Amino acid sequence: MSSNISTLGWILIIGLVVFIVVLNLGLFIATKQKIEKDHWINKLTNAGQVLRNPLKKENDRYKELSDQVAKLKPLMNNNNENKQK
The answer to whether residue 64 is domain-embedded is yes
d(CA 55, CA 51): 9
Q: What is the mean pLDDT of residues 8-26?
A: 96
The answer to whether residue 81 is domain-embedded is yes
The answer to whether residue 59 is domain-embedded is yes
Tens of pLDDT, residue by residue over 61-75, are 999 999 999 998 887
d(CA 13, CA 2): 18
Cβ proximity of 51 and 45 under 8 Å: no
Q: Is the pTM of this model over 0.75?
A: no
Give the closest residue to 70 by CA, choosing from 62, 59, 82, 60.
Answer: 62
Provide the domain limits for residue 61.
55-85
Count of the separate structural domains present in the chain: 1
